[in-house]
Structure 1
């Protein structure tokens, strides 16, 4: 029996999603992407899940797109290559969008090489925690293609435009220390502590109101493209929703009760 290509475990409100194709350094095949999408949809819909940790099985985080799949696409009839490629891109973008717009905190626990689509997938998360074995490369240029997993959007926002161009134009490998210096990686830890530290960080991030977190994340992720007026307007609408939330009511009542007890 074939093992699942995506492993999803949930403990104490924290989901850990593991890319589970270690023999291929977790390269993303079409079948694996389908399982990935289903797992992300489940995490997004489950209110009991407060945060998500994404990692890879074995020595690599994700080696990018599956080269065998690239070969099959090239062998298709000439008149079908473009449409087949377009259709595949819709699936890639759907998966990356689900990850990026997840209405709860997402941490990439990068345990090894994150290449091409793998590097973009890490960037689609809110935070990146990396072990000493982690590395990043936007290697698309070596395959004669462009970053299609969001790297052209996410990377400049982390490192600036000129540095993003350098990394994408050259496809060079970035070790974990340089990645920390550039701002690609938020925190570094040991390989032995990686998953535990990521889960502990996720638990810390998930302590706040799930309603407020989801609304705040959605506004922040659009803030670079929005005017101040738009951000204020979105914030006003979000605050109106928060005023009606159970979390807000309970926190206010608890504060008032504590104040009354001290009088």
Structure 2
């Protein structure tokens, strides 16, 4: 697929997806979402790619859903508005699920405003690194809608239920330093080095076994909903797979060879 509303590049096994509608502060249109889904599927399916960095072109990370698209949906025939909305939600949830369940580390490099769906998209990543120009706002309430990109799931897990309610009920802007103190952001860095710092962090996180990493991430993503018994059960199955992986065999053989050389 040819990408025009996003940019996808891969260097040294690290993929970077850049939202590329800078004139619209990278607001997510339906066409942009389609490209985003294809890019995520491509990254997930490429074993040579070990990690993903997500960022935005220009001054913003992602301004949320495209308002012109919202207006077009409201002007659909009355009998079609509900189903059209349901269909769109399926696409939104598919994109966010692909991002959240990506079987490799994902870092959001937030270069500017992340609002509404943009804030949720950052939260769907494993980690968030942000520049001094970054900000976050769960501004859905200002449009008379609810967070539909996973914010009601992800945000309480980052900041706690009460703080999540405050941020969602008010839709207020959260500057980067407050976001860092609340736990929304994991690291703050300079705008000049944001991408290089994010890429270096992605490389650090993805050095080890990709098999073990993918399985571990899958279980950790569910750990708040699972019982300890469920975690142990899924862990046992995952470990069985790890035992058969080429990465496990190579690491054991390398350790034994190194030990033998010292004797």
Return the TM-score normalized by structure 2.
0.99
Q: Name 2:26's counterpart in structure 1.
A: 26
Q: Name 1:43's counterpart in structure 2.
A: 43
Q: Name 1:102's counterpart in structure 2.
A: 102
Q: Name 1:64's counterpart in structure 2.
A: 64
For structure 1, the residue ranges without an aligned partner over 5 or more in a row are: none
After superposing on structure 2, the runs of 4+ consecutive aligned residues of structure 1 that deviate more than 4 Å are none
| Separation (CA, whole Å) in 2 of partners of 1:74 and 1:236 | 49
| Separation (CA, whole Å) in 2 of partners of 1:73 and 1:97 | 23
Q: Name 1:155's counterpart in structure 2.
A: 155
Q: Name 1:139's counterpart in structure 2.
A: 139
| Separation (CA, whole Å) in 2 of partners of 1:101 and 1:226 | 16
- Name the Cα RMSD after superposition: 0.8
For residue 223 of structure 1, give the secondary structure of its aligned residue in structure 2: coil
> What are the residue-to-residue correspondences of 1:73-222 with 2, within 5 Å?
73-222=73-222
Return the TM-score normalized by structure 1.
0.99
Q: Deviations over 1:202-248 (max 9, x none)?
A: 00011010000000000000000000000001111000000000000
For structure 2, the residue ranges without an aligned partner over 5 or more in a row are: none
User: How many Å apart are 1:3 and its aligned residue?
Assistant: 7.4
Paired residues in the alignment total 262
For residue 129 of structure 2, give the secondary structure of its aligned residue in structure 1: strand
User: How many Å apart are 1:29 and its aligned residue?
Assistant: 0.1
| Separation (CA, whole Å) in 2 of partners of 1:106 and 1:63 | 20
